[in-house]
């Protein structure tokens, strides 16, 4: 497979001396010198994925392996350190190594600046997907240094390694909707029988990327992800690197190891199958989230790699069509499993939690018209049931 050059778009390209591509400004995209040298050799394109044993990371690994990429994974099972045995992802790592010929696992912590820089220099990957993270805003308050060093400093480590060794390679960062803090809670809401929804018609399609991330309560997790998100944008706009931030809604799929502090839909399904109570924190259980299957996220990443832009931001979620409240999720899961959903209620919401959030996908659809959400909410839930059942939860 011959290496192709990427069509580069967006702010920061061919603009000013700081841009790595300014010397190639023209009406047609051209490969940078490093990419031109490598294109003489016929070889598979290399993708580096951090958090490769996690939900999104493992789905990205599988998706691009099927597409013919040589895939290198970075993971150190830090999720088990964060969440205990229920968060362990070694089983995913073993599956990937056993099932995907040529996939290589690299046992590495993204906080290891020297180790990460050495790996990127050795690989000079054609693209990078950064999915490694501490993902819980509740847990972040108890481990603020671990959280910030993993999410913010780890991202900076990888960005700088890419700038030094492969600045022309597209860089996709898995951000979060928590960068908006509790700003969505300032939007007028209407209470319906089973959910809250936006009363302001300006948000009928969901939350757009133009919503302010400033002067709101984020949780410490949100703070560390904001720092990483802005850094990824800046490396695109300042250095002209092809970077983007994907501000995820509720990302899920059958490989999701959902726990109480992270992964609400996956964890809710597990509670139903095991007959354990699911704890609802405030808002009467009517809080709304949009849900997107990990495969649809991987498909969007593939679209971005085909036509990368500099310093871009996209809200990536299931949109209104794939949104549900906790009460609605209870009913949907009960309809699939035939088991009643046990629950308990805590009359206090989580700090900084959203009352209602679903993504406006207009920007993503506009920039990449060949992409859209393809897995419906009932299909997502059926996949979650099948995934937990396959792992012996029933």
**What is the arithmetic mean of pLDDT over 170-191?**
97
User: Is 90 exceeded by the pLDDT of residue 303?
Assistant: yes
Look at 3-12, 63-72, 104-113, 217-226 and tell me which has the smallest mean pLDDT.
3-12
Domains of the chain are: 22-390 (3.40.50.720)
Task: Pick the closest to residue 175 from 141, 216, 209 (CA basis).
Answer: 209
* Average confidence score pLDDT of the chain: 90
**In this structure, are residues 266 and 382 in contact, taking their beta carbons and an 8 Å threshold?**
no
- Tell me what pLDDT residue 201 has: 97
User: Is 80 exceeded by the pLDDT of residue 224?
Assistant: yes
User: Is 80 exceeded by the pLDDT of residue 85?
Assistant: yes
The HSE-up count of residue 172 (CA atoms within 13 Å, CB side) is: 33
**What is the arithmetic mean of pLDDT over 127-148?**
95
Q: Which class for 210: exposed (0-12), middle (13-18), buried (19 or more C-beta within 10 A)?
A: exposed
Euclidean distance between CA atoms 197 and 320, whole angstroms: 10
CA-based radius of gyration for the chain:
21
Look at 5-19, 21-35, 73-87, 166-180 and tell me which has the smallest mean pLDDT.
21-35
**What is the arithmetic mean of pLDDT over 73-83?**
94
Q: pTM for the complete prediction?
A: 0.89
Euclidean distance between CA atoms 345 and 114, whole angstroms: 46
Each residue's pLDDT tens digit, 232-273:
999 999 999 999 999 999 999 998 888 898 889 999 999 999
12 or 7, higher pLDDT? 7
C-beta neighbour count of 91 within 10 angstroms: 12
Task: Pick the closest to residue 174 from 207, 123, 133, 206 (CA basis).
Answer: 133
- Tell me what pLDDT residue 8 has: 53
Which residues make Cβ contacts (< 8 Å) with residue 159, sequence separation at least 6?
Answer: 171, 231, 232, 235, 241, 243
Task: Pick the closest to residue 119 from 194, 46, 12, 224 (CA basis).
Answer: 46
In the chain, which ranges are E strands?
46-50, 70-75, 104-107, 127-130, 171-176, 189-191, 196-198, 243-248, 250-252, 278-281, 288-293, 312-316, 323-325, 343-346
User: Is 70 exceeded by the pLDDT of residue 28?
Assistant: no
User: Is 70 exceeded by the pLDDT of residue 30?
Assistant: no
**In this structure, are residues 198 and 189 in contact, taking their beta carbons and an 8 Å threshold?**
yes
Measured over the CA atoms of residue 13, residue 17, residue 23 and residue 26, the dihedral's sign is positive
17-49 in b/e form (b: 16+ CB < 10 A) is eebbbeebeeeebebbeebeebeeeeeebbbbb
Percent of the chain with pLDDT over 90: 83
**What is the arithmetic mean of pLDDT over 337-351?**
95
**What is the arithmetic mean of pLDDT over 33-61?**
76
């Amino acid at each position: 497979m011959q290496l192709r050059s990427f069509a580069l778009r967006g702010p920061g390209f061919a603009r000013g001396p700081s841009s790595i591509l300014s010397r190639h400004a023209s009406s047609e995209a051209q490969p940078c010198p490093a990419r031109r040298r490598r294109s003489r050799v016929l070889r598979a394109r290399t993708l580096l994925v951090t958090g490769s044993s996690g939900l999104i990371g493992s789905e990205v690994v599988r998706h691009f392996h099927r597409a013919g990429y040589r895939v290198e994974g970075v993971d150190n099972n830090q999720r088990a350190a964060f969440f205990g045995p229920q968060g362990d992802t070694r089983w995913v790592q073993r599956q990937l190594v056993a099932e995907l010929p040529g996939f290589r696992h690299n046992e590495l912590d993204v906080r290891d600046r020297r180790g990460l820089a050495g790996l990127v220099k050795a690989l000079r990957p054609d693209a990078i997907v950064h999915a490694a993270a501490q993902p819980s805003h509740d847990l972040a308050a108890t481990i603020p240094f671990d959280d910030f060093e993993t999410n913010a400093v780890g991202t900076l480590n990888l960005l700088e390694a890419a700038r030094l060794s492969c600045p022309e390679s597209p860089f996709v960062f898995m951000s979060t909707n928590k960068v908006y803090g509790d700003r969505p809670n300032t939007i007028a809401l209407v209470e319906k029988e089973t959910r809250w929804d936006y009363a302001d018609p300006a948000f009928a399609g969901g939350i757009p990327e133009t919503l302010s991330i400033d002067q709101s309560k984020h949780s410490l997790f949100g703070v560390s992800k904001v720092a990483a998100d802005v850094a990824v944008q800046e490396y695109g706009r300042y250095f002209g690197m092809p970077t983007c931030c994907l501000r995820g809604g509720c990302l899920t799929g059958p490989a999701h190891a959902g726990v109480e502090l992270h992964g609400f839909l996956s964890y809710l399904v597990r509670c139903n199958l095991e007959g354990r109570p699911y704890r609802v924190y405030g808002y009467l259980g009517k809080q709304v989230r949009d849900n997107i299957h990990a495969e649809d996220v991987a498909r969007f990443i593939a679209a971005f790699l085909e036509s990368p832009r500099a310093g871009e931001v996209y809200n990536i979620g299931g949109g209104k069509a794939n949104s549900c409240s906790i009460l609605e999720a209870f009913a949907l899961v009960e309809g699939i499993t035939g088991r009643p959903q046990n629950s308990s209620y805590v009359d206090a919401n989580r700090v900084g939690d959203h009352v209602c959030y679903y993504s406006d996908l207009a920007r993503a659809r506009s920039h990449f018209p060949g992409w859209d959400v393809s897995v419906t909410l009932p299909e997502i839930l059926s996949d979650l049931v099948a995934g937990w059942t396959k792992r012996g939860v029933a």
